[in-house]
Amino acid sequence: MDRRATGSAGGTAKVPGGPRRWREAAEEALYGPEGFFVRHAPAAHFRTSVHASPLFAGAVAELLRRVDEVLGRPGELALIDYGAGRGELLTGVLAALPALPGDLAARVRPHAVERAPRPDGLDPAVAWSADPPRGAVGLLFANEWLDDVPLDVAETGGDGVPRYVLVDADGTEHPGEPVSGEDARWLARWWPLPPEPGARAEIGRSRDAAWARAVSCLERGLAVAVDYAHTRAARPPLGTLTGYRDGREVRPVPDGRCDLTAHAALDACAAAAEHAGAGGTGPGLPLSQREALRALGVSGARPPLALASSDPAAYVRLLGRAGEAAELTDPAGLGAFTWLLQPRGIPLPPPWGVHGEAGDRPSG
């Protein structure tokens, strides 16, 4: 996330003390009755691609159009925003749809999946619930959701054994019991820890399950997850768990006053979704946000200079658009996000797939 300050977190939330495993502590701190995401609008603390430019929502609208084509233009087309925040992405996509050809805008059924209360003033056409609809046909989009799904943290102890990291409400950490069971098997497959003391890993099993569950709400369609991510070939040796408050990176403290986030092991998430019936990602996928948005028509190319003389207003407008596109696709910023695309019961939409090719797998 591009977390730039726009507000204040206010007072301390009443979050029980520890020590507890990070997953339990973060669950309470983020989503409990006094949790960060329940008490605060995310946009008050960090700026995502949705907040950076309406071009992002326009690109999602274009992706929805392509999914609609692959689906054969059904009478009702679901647009599910998973981890919807305050509904900003759905609002932007709905605003962009009328400019697209055909009757797509009339057939779209927007649905926000979010544990926070429905915000005032949201378009009444948007359904709002903590759980996803079942049997949906359309596009599921999860923008910077998986990085906020709580998970446990492991650290190699002085004895060379990976142990759960326990944390107090003030952020003080303690070594716990050795990692065992399904968590140990997950580490061995997806994030093997070296024997050197201090090496850390974030056990993504909870995220695998969350993503597989999300994708399973589709009967047919495309599921997209967008997040900072890593793969088994290049895991960060010390992990990525951190906190954000008022647009600034802070020490991760599970007290309800900051966001707690860690990059996603999207390769593990993808495998879990495939096991649950989703299609494969196809060649060349996942891909960077820079690549994805360019494929959806977002370009940072500047308008021709001659336009400044013939139509100054249009030149200024297009120049501003190019600047916004450049921010969204900057490989050192928002463009570094990873896009995971997984179809269910359909091929991948163009340009990533065609009928009968990459990603084509029946649902079930």
Query: 10-residue block means of pLDDT along the chain (364 residues)?
Result: 36 58 97 84 65 93 98 98 96 97 97 94 97 97 97 98 98 98 99 98 99 98 97 97 92 95 98 94 87 93 80 78 86 94 97 60 35
Residue 56 lies in a domain: yes
Residue 354 lies in a domain: no
- How far apart CA 252 and CA 29 sit, in angstroms, is 11
- How far apart CA 312 and CA 5 sit, in angstroms, is 33
The encoded tokens of residue 167 equal 């944390």
The encoded tokens of residue 290 equal 């820079």
Residue 69 lies in a domain: yes
Residue 356 lies in a domain: no
Confidence (pLDDT) at 61 = 98
Q: By C-alpha distance, which of 1, 141, 134 is closest to 80?
A: 141
Which residue reads 């977002």 in tokens? 298
Q: By three-state DSSP, how is residue 162 classified?
A: strand
Residue 13 lies in a domain: no
Instruction: Give the chain's domain count.
Output: 1
Q: C-alpha angle with apex 86: 80 to 89, nearest 5 degrees?
A: 50
Residue 42 lies in a domain: yes
Q: In terms of residue numbers, what domain contains 290?
A: 20-151+200-299+332-344
Confidence (pLDDT) at 262 = 98
Confidence (pLDDT) at 305 = 81
Query: Within the chain, where are the H helices?
Result: 22-31, 36-39, 49-52, 54-71, 88-96, 104-107, 181-190, 205-215, 266-275, 289-295, 307-310, 312-329
Confidence (pLDDT) at 359 = 46
Confidence (pLDDT) at 326 = 87
- How far apart CA 163 and CA 194 sit, in angstroms, is 12
Confidence (pLDDT) at 51 = 87
Confidence (pLDDT) at 296 = 97
Confidence (pLDDT) at 318 = 72
The region that residue 72 occupies, defined by phi over 0 for left and psi between -120 and 50 for alpha, beta otherwise, is left
Give me the CATH number covering residue 269. 3.40.50.12710
The total number of residues shown for the chain amounts to 364
Residue 67 lies in a domain: yes
- Please provide residue 196's backbone torsions phi and psi, each rounded to the nearest 5 degrees: -70, 130
Put simply, whether the predicted model's pTM sits higher than 0.75 gets the answer yes
Residue 1 lies in a domain: no
